[in-house]
Amino acid sequence: MLHRVREWGALGIALLALASRAAHADAPARVFAADTAAQPSCAAACSRSVSFAGPYAGAQLIGSTGTVSSTEYIAASGALFHHYDDPMFGAGLGGNLGYNWLPWSGWSLVGVVAHLNYQSDSGGRVLRTPDHLSASGQLRIGLPPPSDVLWFLQTGPAFAREHITVAFGAAVTDLERTVPGYGVGTGVEWALPRAAHAMLGWQRTLFLEIHHSWWNSNTLASPAAVPTLDLRWQRQSDKNLAGLRLYF
């Protein structure tokens, strides 16, 4: 019996020694695993090198095209006298301010943006209605991917300051009106490399946008230039924007 107890005791001591050696051998592996788990992986930390969230301001170059649909009526009877469509072309400069949010864990982008633009515009021939100054406030929705490119849609109300000129021979009528409208657009932004952020530490993006706007119809009854006619017109315009934004 005593011999059997000694055998079991020796076996227990041997097992304890093996367990102790295994524990010490496994310690460096467990420390390395803990350190690795504590450090975020590059896939998680580096998947998005830029963020399109927060406030921003920018400037843009503008190229504009459009159409003015004009109708002339005989003032005395209201009968149709003449209808014509004139193309519009122009170019100018503008600025924008906005703010973006990244809700739902960054899987989408929601923002607001305001544009103020000034451009030269042909605006028609006999009845000229260029909108040299225009402004808009729009809601923006986008899907930022893991890369440095943002695609977005935006829509909202717009306002334009129309300069109206009616020229029939030597007689000319000049006046200005503010016209409301509504616009939709789409665009893309590219974030510049981080090396380009050195100045002021602000993120910079290049952007391209396309906007289409429908403007309310307008009328002018018996203008001094041609008192025998009533005039009605409506404009549609397209603006192509290219510029730079700074995210603060």
Cα–Cα distances (Å) from 151 to 96, 140, 154, 210, in that order, read 17, 10, 10, 12
Q: Are 226 and 166 in contact, with CB atoms under 8 Å apart?
A: yes
* Whether 136 and 64 share a structural domain: yes
pLDDT of residue 127: 77
- Looking at the fold, whether 68 and 15 belong to one and the same domain comes out as no
| 11 and 110 housed in the same domain | no
Number of domains in the chain: 2
Quote helix, strand, coil % in the chain, to nearest 5.
Answer: 20, 60, 20
Query: Distance between CA atoms of 165 and 130, rounded to whole angstroms?
Result: 9
Instruction: Mark whether 122 and 189 lie in a shared domain.
Output: yes
Task: Tell me whether residue 133 is in a domain.
Answer: yes
Alpha carbon distance 78, 41 (integer Å) = 75
CA distance 62 to 211: 11
Same domain, 19 and 121: no
Distance between CA atoms of 94 and 117, rounded to whole angstroms?
4
135 and 230 share a domain? yes
Q: Is the dihedral of CA 190, 106, 109, 116 positive or negative?
A: negative
11 and 90 assigned to the same domain: no
| pLDDT score of 130 | 79
pLDDT in the model for residue 29: 46
Unique residue bearing structure tokens 């981080």: 194
85 and 16 in one domain? no
DSSP-based three-state secondary structure for 200 = coil
Tokens at 176, concatenated: 């200005």
44 in a structural domain: no
Q: Is residue 231 part of a domain?
A: yes
Domain encompassing residue 13 = 2-39
Neighbour count for residue 128 (Cβ, 10 Å): 21
Q: Are residues 13 and 119 in the same domain?
A: no
Task: Tell me whether residue 32 is in a domain.
Answer: yes
Which residues contact residue 213 at a Cβ distance below 8 angstroms, ignoring those fewer than 6 apart? 134, 136, 158, 160, 181, 182, 183, 236, 237, 238, 239
pTM of the model: 0.74
- Domain check: are 143 and 235 in the same one? yes
Residue 45 located in a structural domain: no
β-bridge pairing 54-74 and 80-101: antiparallel
> Is 203 contained in some domain?
yes
Q: What is the pLDDT of residue 201?
A: 67
Q: What is the pLDDT of residue 107?
A: 81
pLDDT in tens, the chain (248 residues): 444 435 544 544 454 344 445 444 444 444 334 444 444 443 333 344 578 999 999 999 999 999 999 999 999 999 999 999 989 899 999 999 999 999 887 788 999 999 999 988 777 766 777 788 999 999 999 987 667 899 999 999 999 998 888 887 778 888 999 999 999 999 999 998 876 555 556 889 999 999 999 999 999 999 989 999 999 999 999 999 999 999 98
Comparing CA positions, the residue from 156, 139, 165 lying closest to residue 213 is: 156
- Establish if 118 belongs to a structural domain: yes
Within 8 A by CB and 6+ apart from 154, the residues are: 113, 138, 139, 140, 141, 184, 185, 186, 187
**Burial label, 167 (beta-carbon count in 10 A; 0-12, 13-18, 19+):** middle
Does residue 55 sit in the same domain as residue 34? no
What is the structure's pLDDT at 170? Answer: 72
Together in a domain, 180 and 229: yes
In a domain, 15, yes or no: yes
Q: What is the CATH number of the domain that holds 97?
A: 2.40.160
Helix (H) or strand (E) holding 129: none
Q: Nearest-CA neighbor of 161 among 124, 181, 132?
A: 132
